[in-house]
Amino acid sequence: MALRVLQLLGGASLVKYGVDKWNEMKAESAVYEASVPWYYEDETTLQRQLVNYYADYVCVPLEYAETTRQIMEEVVSDFQRFVNRSCEFHLQLDDPIPTGSCDDGLDIINANSFDVLVPICLPKSQWQLIKDYMDPGYAKLRNRVSYEHILPQKRSVFQEMYLSSRMIRDLFGKLIRKYADDGHRTRYRLTTLMTSESLLLKVSDHGGSLTIDLIPCVEIDGVNLVAKSYPTGSFLEAISGNCRNDTDVLWRRSFHEMERDHLQSPRHEGFKKCLMLMKCIRANEKEFAQISSYVLKTAYLHWRKQVLCSKWEEKNMLKHFRQFSGYLSSTLAEGKLCPFFEPNPNANLLKRHSSATLSKIRRFNLQMMQPGRLSLVLNNRSSRYTSHEG
């Protein structure tokens, strides 16, 4: 039975991992198998349960998704007008760009959480893009104009000659709070919600609520950069003993447009359901929530690039889902996952997790696919969604 678990590793081999790692994985597999009571699980029944789980729980009704998106677009457009008409912040914004699950067609359970890129208008000829050699997933923006020629009212967002992503985030926080406090601008109730990573705008009416993450971004030399914080205090820094002192001016590279266009290709028709199923399980299982949904999406893109099957068949949903789960386990075991459009190994999305954390996540993924376990996981559901009546 331990062989069954190793098969889920999606082609893991002695050559790929080496003798010591392979023996360790076999030992772990035996432990996982011993911890799961064995009983026969009808494949047809499990396939039907997975299809129903997707249709009844994972998939968001189109009418509801359209309603929440319309509310989001109305509020975000008003936020843009609010900032552009303000004389206090000396900032001009371009048209907002919905990103993430809502734009990729990957919304699950509730279509009430939105990520929106808010482009800052910059004179592009004055800026130099400097890619970070330590982590090519990040870059810096250096002003070509001497500091004394920068308008005094704009110097607050500079650190020496670099545009500070931290100061831009702080400025956006002030903008969002000021906008939310101006409660007469929209027909909705606006409040703010602080998370571990960002300040969200919460939009409520008598029918429910949604949240919007307004993410400042810039586009230079065809590269999109977002003002998301660099993950300091990471496992990587802990083991190396090196703490970066330039994180305030690091901007995260965004590959959203390329990923979105790629996901729209016929190759992903139907197969995206496997990713949405995995995202939904992540939303309900705390052991699985330690990796981001972006890691799952990236793993999915790499899996689809390698998988031989080119045509989706609903009757094989369980088979396809198991294959994706196996690829994910293999990736976690290897500890390497680069953004789909950035193959440089220094951009590894998993390098900030300890091997113990990755092993814990992989253990859950392996156990989930054992006989009897997947049915239990599919029965663990959070609240479905609340309707908006506009």
- Of residues 14 and 215, which shows the higher confidence score? 215
**Residue 108 CB partners (closer than 8 Å, separation 6+):** 58, 59, 60, 101, 276, 279, 280, 283
Domain contains 324: yes
Categorize the per-residue pLDDT at 148 as very low, low, confident or very high, splitting at 50, 70 and 90.
Answer: low
189 strand-pairing partners: 204
pLDDT tens figures, 31-62: 444 444 444 468 889 999 999 999 999 988 88
Domain presence at residue 255: yes
Q: Is residue 389 part of a domain?
A: no
Number of domains into which the chain is organized:
1
Assigned domain for 215 exists: yes
Whether residue 26 lies inside any domain: the answer is no
- CATH code (residue 267): 3.30.460.90
Q: Classify residue 384: in a domain, yes or no.
A: no
pLDDT in tens, 270-313: 999 999 999 999 988 888 888 899 999 999 999 999 887 778 99
DSSP state of 144: S
Domain extent for 262: 36-378
Cα(324)–Cα(327) distance, rounded to whole angstroms?
Answer: 5
Average pLDDT over residues 96-117: 88
* Residue 24: inside a domain: no
Rg (CA), the chain: 23
Whether 150 is covered by a domain: the verdict is: yes
